[in-house]
Structures are given as C-alpha cells and as structure tokens.
Amino acid sequence: MPWIRNFPSLKPSPPPPPHYEELSVNALLNPGLNSWNNTLVHSLFNATDAAAILSIPLYARTRTDVRVWKATVDGAYSVKSAYRTCSDLLLATTPVQNNVCWNSIWNIKIPPQIRSFMWRLAHQCLPTRVNLLTRGIPCEESCVCCDLLAETHMHVFFVCSKAVNCWEHIGIHNIILELLPTADNFTTMLFDLLNRLSPHQQSLTAMVLWSLWKNRNSKLWEAIDHTSSFIVTRAKDTLNEWSCMQRAKLPAHNAEHPPKWSKPPVGIIKRNVDAASFNNDSIKGYGMRFRDSSGLFMLGKSDYYYSSTTILESETIGLLEAIKVTISKGMHVVWVETDRKAISDALATTNIPQNEFGDIISQCKSLLINRTDFVVLHIRLLIVSLELPYLTLAPIFLILYQLLCTH
C-alpha cells in the first residue's frame, strides 16, 4: 500500500522485513498518542525511509481512512490532474520535450482554438496520411495538396509547394530554409522557427499553419483548393478580427487593480496569515499578525516545524492556530485574509476533503461552531504589484528565519 507521501513511489524503498509484511501503519504509532514510535520506525526501516516517515504530519482524524489522490488539493481524482501528472513524467523522460519551451505556445497571442491546434501540431498528432497509415488506417500516402511526397507534418507545413508559397508571402521562407537541413524532427523545427521570430511574426506564423491545415482539409473533403494568397489573407484577417476584439475588452481588464491592504471597519479585527518553507522544504513555518480598525498592530505569532507538509497545509495550520489565539484572547468579530482560495472554499462547504488538508479543515470547523463573528476572506495577491501594506508578515518571517539559522 503506498503511504509515504514525499516519496515518488509512495512506498518504502526495500521490502518489509521478514514477519512484518502484514504490518499496518497504525502499528508504527505510539498507542493512544498522535505521534510516531521513533524507536520502532528506525528499527524497521533504513535511515532515508525512517526520516521520510517521521516527517509525515499526523493530524487529528475522526474519519475512516480512505485512498486519496496525491495530485489534487482535495485528494479526489480528476482527469485533469492525471493528465498533468502524465505530462510531467513525459517531460522528465522525453529528450525532445526537455529541449523546447512548451509554454511558448500558450504565450502566443492568438485565439484559444488556434493555441490548441498548435499544441496538437507540436505533438505531431494531426491526422496526416502518414500518421493514419502508422495507426493502421488504410489510405493513400501522398500529400493531399501536391500529390508528390509522403504527407508528413514536415512536408505539409514546410516542404509542400503550397506551404512554401505561403511562407514567401509573409517573408520567413529564408529562415525555414536555414533551419530545415539541421532539424532533427518536426517538433524541434517548429520551436526553432518560433524562437527566431518576433511576437507578431509568431502570431502570424501560427495562423498561417492553421490556415494551411484548414485548406488541406477543404481540398480533401470538399475538393476546394485555395490559392496561397487566400490562405495567408484568411490567416491575417482572422488574427486581426480576434486582436480587435481583445483590444475592445482591454479597458475592462485594466479596471482590475491589485488589491491593497485596507483597514477593517470599526470594531473589527483583521488578521493576515502566510506560510513559508525553508531548508529545501524540510522545514515549514507560518506567521500571523492581528491589527485593529486603525491599522495598529495588536499581536503576532510565528512558529516552525520539521515536516513534509505542503504550503497549503502549513497555511491552514496557521489559520487553525489563529483561531486558537482568537479564542484564548477573547477576541470577537475577526476577519481573516488568506490568498489561498482552497482554504476559504473548504471552510464554506460541507464536503470536507478526505486528505490531510481536510483533517486540518475539520479541526478549524469544529472550533468555529457558533462563531459567526469569525470570517475567512479570500484575497487575490499579485506579487509583482506588492506595496508596503502587504509586507506585513515580512518582519515575522525574518525573525523566524533568524531563529532557524541559530539552531
């Protein structure tokens, strides 16, 4: 059973010792206590595994143990998270993907559907005739447009006479001629070309690639073959129309300004909390600060611990400690600001996540029963626009870091 949260395999590296194959994780805990049996863990596992196990946080849990999905915040499986996990694995094992910047596709200023087309194009998964034959689908091999050579991605978009005429129209054919002899494959060729172009040329090139494929399909299915001039004009017109629409929307986006810290209304206390990691994520810490309606500092608190908790869990622990401080100090009408939407969403719903994050949320909820004067607010924090009022936790984290350096 996979259970070591910060191991890639989620399992101990060597097999269990003889006679301990059926040992459960519960047996590694001190009876009646929410803590690891340090001596037993070190006696059964090697030093690396033991350190990883002892760094796993143990939270109070009142629910039955269930399987959780590590790749999501709430521990529930989703196709999106599985896709991202598979993409990360491919990125780490495929040499071609390590040498190209896939994010550059999503940064090109083109319509979203054209970005999706570019992603499929870069992965060479368009249904060219060679691709279809490779997958066992019977069809002719020659190019739909020129009927001369095999229809590969490289031929359709860079070698075919139709494509060559289009690139000459927009003035980048010479760059393509320079890159073709040294291109290892189509993906490398595509990204090398994009890297040689200006942002505007990248947008136009992407649109021409899309228009070329659209023309290929219209000839295949409708027997309509457009001229190279028409293909380029369609690409330019579509790009201009979309750009005009984006410019029309721009004032609405500009109206959104980064939020600034503001004083709470009279009679209300505002508390800000944040978390940080140190020493290659082996140490986590949190800090909080309470201020009154005049913006004056009331009290603050920070702490750190050796654990494999996530930053989200650390910020939620900070929230839990803030609730305890609020109760112990007899505070009333407290607003809490957090930049983690997952925290505010989890507190507002009855569906509590099944993972460790959910265990901390459960503790927060139990303390907040009948405390309608305690409100958790989500704020959108833009790091690039931070102003002085937002740096309220900096002194707390500076002190925390200094304490860590002295140990």
Q: pLDDT tens across 348-404, in order?
A: 988 899 899 999 999 999 999 888 899 998 887 544 333 334 444 544 545 555 545
- Residues 40-77 have pLDDT tens digits of 999 888 898 898 889 888 888 777 888 888 889 888 99
pLDDT at 407 > cutoff 60: no
In Å, how far from its chain's centre is CA 161? 41
- Residues 15-36 have pLDDT tens digits of 777 777 778 888 899 988 889 9
% of the chain beyond a pLDDT of 70: 88
* pLDDT at res. 257: 55
* pLDDT at res. 4: 83
pLDDT at 303 > cutoff 60: yes
* pLDDT at res. 390: 41
pLDDT tier at 84 (50, 70, 90 boundaries)?
confident
pLDDT tier at 143 (50, 70, 90 boundaries)?
very high
* pLDDT at res. 181: 93
The residues with which 334 forms a beta bridge, in sequence order, are 269, 374
Helix (H, G, I), strand (E, B) or coil at 284: strand
* pLDDT at res. 93: 63
* pLDDT at res. 262: 87
Mean pLDDT of 159-171: 97
Mean pLDDT of 331-338: 91
pLDDT at 99 > cutoff 80: no
- Residues 304-324 have pLDDT tens digits of 888 888 889 999 999 999 999
DSSP 8-state code for residue 297: E
Measured from the Cβ of residue 104, the count of other Cβ atoms closer than 10 Å reads: 14
| Mean pLDDT of all residues belonging to the chain | 86
pLDDT tier at 147 (50, 70, 90 boundaries)?
very high
Query: What predicted TM-score, i.e. pTM, was given to this entire model?
Result: 0.62
Beta pairing class for 374-378 and 297-306: unpaired
Q: For the chain, where do the domains classified as CATH 3.30.420.10 start and end?
A: 269-405
Q: How far apart are CA 110 and CA 106, in angstroms?
A: 9
Mean pLDDT of 272-282: 85
Beta pairing class for 269-278 and 297-306: unpaired
Domain boundaries 269-405, CATH class: alpha beta
* pLDDT at res. 383: 41
For the CA atoms of 305, 311, 313, 317, the dihedral, rounded to the nearest 10 degrees, stands at 50
Q: How far apart are CA 313 and CA 310, in angstroms?
A: 5
State the SS3 of 30-96. Answer: CCCCCCECHHHHHHHCCHHHHHHHHCCCCCCCCCCCCCCCCCCCCCCCCHHHHHHHHHHHHHHHCHH
Q: Confirm if 397 and 302 have CB atoms less than 8 A apart.
A: yes
pLDDT at 405 > cutoff 60: no
* Cα angle, residue 177 at apex, residues 172 and 183 outer, rounded to 5°: 115
Residue 49, phi-psi category: left (phi > 0), alpha (psi -120 to 50), beta (remainder): alpha
Q: How far apart are CA 78 and CA 359, in angstroms?
A: 20
Mean pLDDT of 252-268: 71
* pLDDT at res. 265: 92
